[in-house]
Amino acid sequence: MSSAVLVRRARSRSPPGRFDPSRRTRPRVEEEPAVARVDMASALPDDMLLEVFKRLLPPTGVVRCAAVCRSWRRVVSRAGSGTFPDPPRHLGFFRNYGPSALPPFVHTAGVTLNLGFLPVSRVILIDSRGHRLLLRELCAGFKTELKLLVCNPLQKTFARLPPLPIGGHLVACCAVVPGQGAEFRVVVVLVGATSPNFYVFIYSSASSAWEVATGTLKRRLTPHQGPSVVIGDFVYRLDCEEKYIMAVNTTKMTISVLSIPRAGMRLYTGNNWIGKTEDSRLCFFAIREPLIMVRWVLEAPRKWTPQEPVALRPLMNPATVGDLHGLKLSARIADQLMHGCKLVSFGGFCEASGTLFLIMADRVVSLDLKTFRMERLWLNDDEWRPLGDVFPYEMVAWPPAIKDSIW
């Protein structure tokens, strides 16, 4: 059989379902660039913008609008009291996460932050306070010297501090202390591994240099990881395992040791924490069963005054904590092993707003110490890497000014 050749003739019309651009009868409308849309929106009168902002989902919509440009931020900042819901007490929190070279950020107010602008390969978070993070660089020789960075993720700025040689000493304290405007200080305490000697280093951004003082303690300290809080000229750091509070006087560059209150319960890492009151007094927290948070306030040197206990279970409103309301929770590790309870522990403290962060069954929960309102913020879905300490990123200025904001 001879092969057949099929020849199709070109048609003047396009086949069904195919668009012929040569037959367009209307002019093409070019897509308007995003920058032009922003400029057109910025040209609206302030009162019209305010009416639009009031109809957005609070508080994330207001935060995002305030971060677009200066004119929109001015509209939000000039709004009268009661125009918007109360601003969020924090933007979210950072956390140390093993697979990530840089600590990731969990946003809770609609603003996403990251540390991708840092010229480092790997860091861990040590402290967070006043829009600043204190990070330690993990690089060659990090066990023999301390390489620290202070950064502001909102403004995308950072400062690399001169490295400190550690030698045979242990790092007992690392804290960032905010100052006026862009100024800050960093406090580092080193203690002898086999002797009671100590060194206090204070870095000032104004001088870009370290000051150092040395001395001797009455007893040798074996420091472990613990939370810190800044009150006036003092930096306090809690050692949860050794059960003491180190007090660093940043003016005299001296160290003293405070005993923790007699809690009448077994204390271990996670079920006790420190913070400060609204009138800037040191406070100590502990959780005992059945989920009762007990508190003490340092009224005078070495004098702890107990406060009214707070029952956490009644604060778990299903509308704010979701599925946590019905879970079996306990602050005792034994209940987790023997009775299948999920562990409750402290995770962080937001000094600017007096907000405690709790870890409840792989969920991060905030507790406002003024209103005692509890709210579930985030669920950790990585079962192989449980949550540790979280580092709250405070809402110091409202509305926040974020560098390089995009539409």
* DSSP result, 219-230: S--------EEE
For helices 70-77 and 46-54, the axis angle rounded to 10 degrees is 70
Tell me the two tokens of residue 103.
């600590």
The Cα–Cα gap between 113 and 101 comes to 15
Which whole number is the average pLDDT over 150-158?
92
Q: Where in the chain is the domain with CATH 1.20.1280?
A: 33-87
Mapped onto helix, strand or coil, the DSSP state of residue 181 is coil
Which whole number is the average pLDDT over 59-87?
73
Whether residue 32 has pLDDT greater than 70? no
Which whole number is the average pLDDT over 208-234?
92
pLDDT band for 407, please (50, 70, 90 cuts).
very low
How big is the chain, counted in residues?
Answer: 407
The Cα–Cα gap between 247 and 62 comes to 40
Which whole number is the average pLDDT over 202-211?
96
The Cα–Cα gap between 178 and 51 comes to 36
Note whether 136 and 129 are within 8 A (CB): no
pLDDT band for 277, please (50, 70, 90 cuts).
very high
- pLDDT per position as a tens digit, 378-401: 999 887 887 877 999 987 666 666
pLDDT band for 10, please (50, 70, 90 cuts).
very low
The per-residue pLDDT for 284 is 97
The per-residue pLDDT for 5 is 40
Which whole number is the average pLDDT over 267-295?
93
Mapped onto helix, strand or coil, the DSSP state of residue 402 is coil
Which whole number is the average pLDDT over 19-36?
51
In degrees rounded to 5, what are phi and psi of residue 132?
-125, 145
pLDDT band for 292, please (50, 70, 90 cuts).
very high
Give the fold, CATH level 3, of 33-87. Monooxygenase (1.20.1280)
The per-residue pLDDT for 19 is 47
Tell me the two tokens of residue 315.
């604060």
Q: What are the DSSP E strand ranges found in 303-354?
A: 303-306, 310-311, 329-330, 342-350
- pLDDT per position as a tens digit, 15-25: 444 545 455 55
Strand ranges of the sheet holding 90-95, from the earlier edge strand across to the other edge: 105-107, 90-95, 390-394
Name which residue leads in pLDDT, 305 or 98: 305
The per-residue pLDDT for 202 is 97
In degrees rounded to 5, what are phi and psi of residue 4?
-105, 145
30-34, 115-119, 177-181, 375-379 — which is least confidently predicted? Answer: 30-34
Alpha-carbon dihedral sign for residues 146, 147, 153, 155 = positive
* Short-list 292, 405, 381, CA closest to 344: 292
The per-residue pLDDT for 76 is 78
12-16, 235-239, 320-324 — which is least confidently predicted? Answer: 12-16
The per-residue pLDDT for 6 is 41
DSSP state of 121: S
CATH value of 88-379+389-394 in 3.40.50, 1.10.1060, 2.40.160, 2.120.10: 2.120.10
pLDDT band for 33, please (50, 70, 90 cuts).
low
Whether residue 3 has pLDDT greater than 90? no
Tell me the two tokens of residue 263.
């809690």
Average pLDDT along the chain: 84
Whether residue 170 has pLDDT greater than 90? yes
8-12, 332-336, 365-369 — which is least confidently predicted? Answer: 8-12
The Cα–Cα gap between 281 and 351 comes to 11
The Cα–Cα gap between 190 and 325 comes to 44
Number of H helices, E strands in the chain: 6, 27
- How would you write 348-371 as a 3-class SS string? EEECCCCEEEEEECCEEEEEECCC
β-strands 355-360, 228-231 pairing: unpaired
Q: Where in the chain is the domain with CATH 2.120.10?
A: 88-379+389-394
Whether residue 364 has pLDDT greater than 80? yes
